[in-house]
Amino acid sequence: MPSENIKIIEGDLSVRDLRVACVAARFNDFIVEPLLRGALDALGRHGVGKDGIDVVRVPGAFELPIVVRKLAASGRYDALIALGAVIRGDTPHFDYVAGECAAGLARIALDSGVPVAFGVLTTDTVEQASDRAGGKAGNKGADAALTAIEMVALLRKLAT
């Protein structure tokens, strides 16, 4: 089957009139704040105005899903960006928080139909987290913002 006969539908980064909420955990804020700055910068560079962005703060990554669910149900947002950092320690706390956070956010996206971009770092060390929050591994907050924009564009294309 020649590829020129296949219809490809994908999102892009040229969405207009976007309403986004960034939900940012305060725990590990020395990591989360650079993620938030990266997300806000990426949104701005792609045409999302300040009036189209809300920032909501939660205590930690475990609290992200309940707030993201409330925002998804509000109907006010085209996409939600969850930002946090769960860094492995010497106890199994990491496994519970990281797993429940990821599962909860995925379930909200599926149940609500509102894209939830996962910008929650789950790392073994502070160094790994720093590398992903604007260090040598880029900024995963910016990546999550780009994912949110692309998903909105894709879902809009699929709706037409």
5: in domain:
no
Which of 27, 11, 33, 38 lies closest to 143, judged by CA?
38
- Tell me, what's the pLDDT at 3? 67
Give the domain extent around 107: 18-153
9: in domain:
no
pLDDT single digits (tens) 12-31: 898 889 999 999 999 999 99
Span 53-63, average pLDDT: 97
- Tell me, what's the pLDDT at 5? 85
- Tell me, what's the pLDDT at 52? 96
- In which element (H, E) is residue 153 found? helix 140-159
Phi, psi of 78 (to 5 degrees): -80, -30
- Amino acid in position 130: S
Alpha carbon distance 149, 143 (integer Å): 10
Binned at pLDDT 50, 70 and 90, residue 95 comes out as: confident
4: in domain:
no
8: in domain:
no
Q: Is the pLDDT of residue 1 over 60?
A: no
3-state secondary structure of 119: strand
6: in domain:
no
Q: Give the CATH number for residue 35.
A: 3.40.50.960
107: in domain:
yes
Binned at pLDDT 50, 70 and 90, residue 149 comes out as: very high
111: in domain:
yes
How confident is the prediction for the chain on average, in pLDDT?
Answer: 94
pLDDT single digits (tens) 108-126: 999 999 999 999 999 999 9
Angle at 42 between CA 38 and CA 44, to 5 degrees: 120
40: in domain:
yes
3-state secondary structure of 158: helix
Look at the chain and report how many structural domains it folds into: 1
By annotation, the residues acting in catalysis are: 93
Instruction: Please tell me the pTM assigned to this model.
Output: 0.94
